[in-house]
């Protein structure tokens, strides 16, 4: 069902040439508005993405070359995050922060890929600003999504923008975060309004929690950080937990803790 909706979205854009899309973005807001309304209709017919579903695949141009998204992920974890536009203040600080965390993501086996609703030339110029301001060297790919193909496929558009397309002539993407595992399953979705910057440390914290849960069969409590105690899930009896883990502290029969530094 989701794939048929994605094909519907793709067909709507196949009908318009790249030249027409570019012109619609810059000089013909009325024609672009009609195009976006077709996208909005397809997006409303597409089921909302849920945790545990396979991340929709797509092909796109990026600052690191053309990609097939699933092939890009390969057997790694991945984080896909969107931005409203190039050369905007909040987005610039965010991209710089993620670029500085390159080693932390690589240590966890996570590939980063960004998305912004502009073309490759704009991205290239913007990256120069990001590197200058944040004193970094941004190396992960940024998707060129001027036609909003990926933004609508992943439901990255604010409802207010859909309702005001006639006035604005364009629909901006919100700040979405998708954490995707090596099986291409969506494990976490965060949605932020355009006015609010994200917390890069929270993204790393969630990845740590997901990877530890998958590896050791535990869950994590509120405000958990790597190395802190974790929870033994209710599906494991206390007797079995004591065999599996060296140290189990029972607060209640349904609430048991063990060391988060699991070997």
Residue 64 is a catalytic residue: no
Cα distance between residue 234 and residue 143, in whole Å: 42
Cα distance between residue 153 and residue 6, in whole Å: 6
172 near 25, Cβ under 8 Å?
no
| Residues pairing with 142 in the sheet | 114
110 near 201, Cβ under 8 Å?
no
Q: Catalytic pick from 6, 91, 209, 236?
A: 91
| Residues pairing with 60 in the sheet | 67
- Containing 37, the helix (H) or strand (E) segment is helix 29-45
- Torsion angle defined by CA atoms of residues 33, 38, 41 and 42, in that order, rounded to the nearest 10 degrees: -130
**Residue keyed to tokens 């987005």:** 91
Give every CB contact of residue 157 below 8 A, 6+ residues apart in sequence. Answer: 40, 43, 148, 151, 171, 172, 173, 174
Catalytic residues: 91
């Amino acid at each position: 069902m989701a794939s048929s909706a994605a094909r519907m979205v793709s067909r709507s854009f196949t009908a318009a040439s790249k030249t027409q899309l570019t012109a619609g973005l810059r000089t013909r807001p009325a024609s672009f508005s009609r195009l976006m309304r077709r996208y909005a209709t397809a997006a409303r017919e597409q089921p909302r993405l849920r945790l545990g579903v396979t991340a929709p695949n797509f092909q796109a141009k990026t600052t690191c070359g053309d990609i097939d998204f699933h092939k890009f992920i390969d057997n790694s974890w991945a984080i896909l995050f969107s931005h409203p536009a190039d050369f905007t203040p909040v987005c610039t600080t965010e991209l710089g922060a993620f670029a500085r965390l390159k080693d932390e993501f690589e240590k966890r086996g996570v590939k980063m890929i960004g998305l912004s609703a502009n073309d490759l030339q704009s991205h290239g110029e913007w990256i120069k600003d990001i590197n200058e301001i944040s004193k970094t060297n941004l190396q992960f790919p940024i998707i060129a999504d001027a036609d909003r193909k990926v933004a609508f496929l992943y439901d990255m558009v604010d409802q207010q923008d859909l309702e005001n397309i006639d006035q604005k002539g364009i629909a901006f993407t919100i700040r979405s975060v998708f954490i995707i595992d090596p099986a291409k399953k969506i494990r976490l979705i965060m949605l932020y309004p355009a006015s609010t910057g994200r917390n890069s440390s929270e993204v790393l914290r969630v990845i740590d929690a997901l990877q530890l849960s998958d590896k050791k069969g535990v869950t994590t409590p509120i405000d958990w950080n790597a190395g802190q105690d974790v929870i033994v899930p209710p599906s494991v009896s206390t007797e079995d937990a004591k065999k599996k883990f060296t140290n189990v502290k029972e607060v209640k029969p349904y609430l048991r803790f063990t060391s988060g530094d699991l070997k």
